[in-house]
């Protein structure tokens, strides 16, 4: 037959595709670790560029030392003998906020022709990106913790996980909540080690649930907070944002005491952050360009508050 009527002959009436009013988001690391673990200090609206936080210097001895060194002998008193004065002293931690920002220029045509509200979409994604950038700066501090466990170019082990927690306890931290932060490959090594620890489901529960408190989460870390399991009762967060060490041979995770009312009150929170400008989204019209500048900025900083309340976990990174 000839002269058929088709979508080709009616191409002014038919279209190859209709754009659906949705946006499939790009895959991404998940932000928010800093929000969960850092003690916050607020400098917004205050005339200062940094937060200076006093710290107490131990004047009675060092935790974790031999019993005769944990408390100085100068506190032994004798009847009828005047006590000598002990000088109390302090130090300080300074958190200096840095500026974060992301910008885009959206033409009027985008706003007029797009099938989605691209203005609001951009605002949400900008906040996502800035939060990721803040997490990166926090996680870079894991490698600067003075105490560490693990062997270079060697897979993470169950013994490493236990040792990291024991070290924090030995150093005198008092905490009602703790957490592990592991790089993806470290978490994979740990799960492999746990699986290899037993030969059947029955002994697996005995070997891990009862002795080392292992419990996988219901979603195995697939949710946005990346909480993959509990180990010794502490949540294990998994991320790909951690730094490397030893010429990128190793990945850096940590066992830490995160912020909580109890941890803060006992000086056991490892990291603190300070806000100088909360995330601020602004739009500025560019008439000649028939466009709008979309800008989001923030001022935020992070620092160690209590070095001894965290242990770096430095083990083999993925090849």
CB 221 within 8 A of CB 229: yes
Instruction: Look at residue 283 in the predicted model and tell me its pLDDT.
Output: 96
CB atoms within 10 A of CB 24: 6
The CATH number linked to 234 is 3.90.1690
Q: Is residue 250 in a domain? A: yes
The dihedrals phi and psi of 160, each to the nearest 5 degrees, come to -60, -45
Residue-level pLDDT at 280: 98
Mean pLDDT of 41-56: 96
In Å, what is the CA distance from 198 to each residue of 159, 195, 205, 229, 237?
A: 15, 6, 9, 18, 24
Spatial separation of the C-alpha atoms in residues 126 and 29, rounded to whole Å: 14
- 121 within 8 A of 110, measured Cβ to Cβ: no
Residue 304 belongs to some domain of the structure: yes
Residue 197 in contact with residue 210, Cβ under 8 Å? no
Could you tell me the residue range of the domain that residue 190 belongs to? 33-58+92-316
Q: Count Cβ atoms below 10 Å from residue 131 Cβ, excluding itself.
A: 20
Beta bridge partners of 274: 41, 301
Rounded to an integer, what distance in angstroms lies between the CA atom of residue 184 and that of residue 186?
Answer: 5
Residue 117, domain member (yes or no):
yes
More confident call, 319 vs 113: 113
Report if residue 37 sits inside a domain.
yes
- Does residue 5 lie within any of the structural domains? no
Better pLDDT: 27 or 199: 27
- CA torsion sign for 272, 277, 278, 279 is negative
pLDDT of 202: 45
**Three-state SS for 189?**
helix
Pairing of strands 234-239, 179-183: parallel
Dist CA 257 CA 270 (whole Å)? 6
Rounded distance between C-alpha atoms, residue 100 and residue 280, angstroms: 10
Q: Per-residue pLDDT tens for 53-96?
A: 999 998 888 887 555 567 777 788 889 999 989 999 999 999 99
Q: What are 215-241's pLDDT values in tens digits?
A: 899 999 999 999 999 999 999 999 999
Residue 286's alpha-carbon distances to 117, 283, 290, 292, 306, in angstroms, are: 19, 10, 6, 6, 48
pLDDT of residue 8: 86
Half-sphere exposure of 39 (CA within 13 A, CB side): 25
pLDDT at 16: 85
Distance (Å) of CA 238 to CA 60, 219, 223, 241, 246? 38, 13, 11, 9, 21
- Domains held by the chain: number: 1
Other CB atoms within a 10 A radius of the CB of residue 43 amount to 20
Is 15 inside a domain boundary? no
Q: Render pLDDT for 94-153 as a digit per residue (tens, 0 to 9).
A: 999 999 999 999 999 999 999 999 999 999 999 999 999 999 999 999 999 999 999 999
Q: Do 98 and 300 contact (CB within 8 A), yes or no?
A: yes
**Is the residue at 280 inside a domain?**
yes
For residue 209, the model assigns a pLDDT of: 55
pLDDT for res 201: 44
Predicted confidence (pLDDT) per residue in 241-275, tens digit: 999 999 999 999 999 999 999 999 999 999 999 99
Return the pLDDT at 2.
73
The CA dihedral of 148, 153, 155, 159, to the nearest 10 degrees, is -40
pLDDT at 1 over 70: no
With respect to residue 2, please indicate whether it lies within any of the assigned structural domains: no
In angstroms, rounded to a whole number, what is the distance separating the alpha carbons of residues 235 and 74? 41
Mean predicted lDDT score pLDDT of the chain: 92
Confidence class for position 200, pLDDT limits 50, 70, 90 = very low
Cα 80 from chain centroid?
55
Q: Which pLDDT tens digit goes with each residue over 162-196?
A: 999 999 999 999 999 999 999 999 999 999 988 87
Q: What is the β-pairing status of strands 271-286 and 39-42?
A: parallel
């Amino acid at each position: 037959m000839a002269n058929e009527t088709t979508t080709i002959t009616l191409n002014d009436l038919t279209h190859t595709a209709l754009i659906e009013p949705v946006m499939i988001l790009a895959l991404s690391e998940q932000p928010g670790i800093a929000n969960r673990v850092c003690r916050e200090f607020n400098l917004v609206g205050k005339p200062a560029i940094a937060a200076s936080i006093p710290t107490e210097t131990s004047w009675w001895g060092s935790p974790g030392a031999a019993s005769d060194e944990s408390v100085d002998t100068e506190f032994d008193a004798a009847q009828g003998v005047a006590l000598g004065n002990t000088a109390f002293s302090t130090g300080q931690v300074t958190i200096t906020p840095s500026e974060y920002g992301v910008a885009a220029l959206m033409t009027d045509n985008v706003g007029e022709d797009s099938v989605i509200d691209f203005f609001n979409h951009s605002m949400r994604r900008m906040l996502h990106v800035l939060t990721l950038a803040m997490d990166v700066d926090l996680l870079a501090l894991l490698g600067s913790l003075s105490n560490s466990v693990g062997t270079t170019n060697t897979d993470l082990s169950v013994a490493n996980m236990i040792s990291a927690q024991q070290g924090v306890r030995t150093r005198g931290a008092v905490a009602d909540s703790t957490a592990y932060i592991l790089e993806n490959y470290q978490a994979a090594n740990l799960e492999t080690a746990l699986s290899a620890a037993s030969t059947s489901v029955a002994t697996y529960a005995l070997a891990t649930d009862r002795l080392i408190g292992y419990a996988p989460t219901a979603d195995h870390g697939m949710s946005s907070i990346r909480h993959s399991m509990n180990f010794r009762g502490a949540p294990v967060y998994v991320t790909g944002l951690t730094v490397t060490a030893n010429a990128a041979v190793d990945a850096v995770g940590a066992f830490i005491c995160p912020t909580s009312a109890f941890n803060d009150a006992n000086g056991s929170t490892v990291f603190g952050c300070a806000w100088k400008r909360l995330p601020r989204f602004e739009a500025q019209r560019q008439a000649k360009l028939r466009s709008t500048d979309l800008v989001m900025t923030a001022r935020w900083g992070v620092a160690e508050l209590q070095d001894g309340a965290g242990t770096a976990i430095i083990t083999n990174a993925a090849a």
